[in-house]
Amino acid sequence: MRRAALAPAVRQTPCSRGGTLVEFALVAPVVLLLFFAILELAILFWVSLTMQHAVREGARLAVTGAGGAMRETLVMQRVAEQSMGLHVLVHPVLHVNGMAAPVDGTNPPAGIFGAGGGMLLLRLDCSWPVATPLLRPMLGDAFRFSVAASMRNEAFE
């Protein structure tokens, strides 16, 4: 008994050979757009978490009262250092107990962080440019976010 031969592979006719390429050309841009939108959202969350960490570290230094007269400058520098270079890109505005202060450490108002035992609230208002066209209708040209840290000053002075 002879075994039945496997069915031969289906051959494409000359008019259907480019169909797969056309389908790929139609689907690929959509898939890539979604991929880059997801990637950009991940980057936005990473930037937000990094800036949250920077504000928390700045507040931790501020509540110790370390630095004396240089306290304000040291805290501003700590926020800039802990942001992993992102402070330049997010254009932050630092608010300390409701007052705006420069982030780069230049001429912060004296006594802005309060006295020992008082509450300290550091808030950074930031914006990150949005590159993916799919996200612009939802977020606009820039993703604006705020991060904050609130702590009680230690008993110092």
Q: For the chain, give every domain's residue range.
A: 18-152
User: For residue 84, what are the contacts with CB-CB under 8 A and spacing of at least 6?
Assistant: 50, 54
How much is the pLDDT for 154? 81
How much is the pLDDT for 119? 84
pLDDT band at 16 (very low <50, low <70, confident <90, very high): low
pLDDT higher than 60, residue 29? yes
How much is the pLDDT for 113? 72
pLDDT higher than 80, residue 38? yes
pLDDT band at 36 (very low <50, low <70, confident <90, very high): very high
Pair type for strands 142-152 and 119-129: antiparallel
pLDDT in tens, 74-84: 888 899 999 99
On the 0-12 / 13-18 / 19+ scale of CB atoms within 10 A, 41 is: middle
Distances, alpha carbon 39 to alpha carbons 75, 109, 131, 137, 146, in Å: 32, 40, 11, 17, 21
How much is the pLDDT for 97? 80
pTM: 0.74
Q: What's the order of all strands across the beta sheet hosting 119-129? A: 99-101, 93-96, 119-129, 142-152
On the 0-12 / 13-18 / 19+ scale of CB atoms within 10 A, 113 is: buried
Report the distance separating Cα 71 and Cα 115, nearest Å.
12
pLDDT higher than 80, residue 145? yes
SS3 content of the chain, % helix, strand, coil (to 5): 45, 20, 35
pLDDT in tens, 82-137: 999 998 899 888 888 867 665 555 555 566 777 677 788 889 899 999 988 888 98
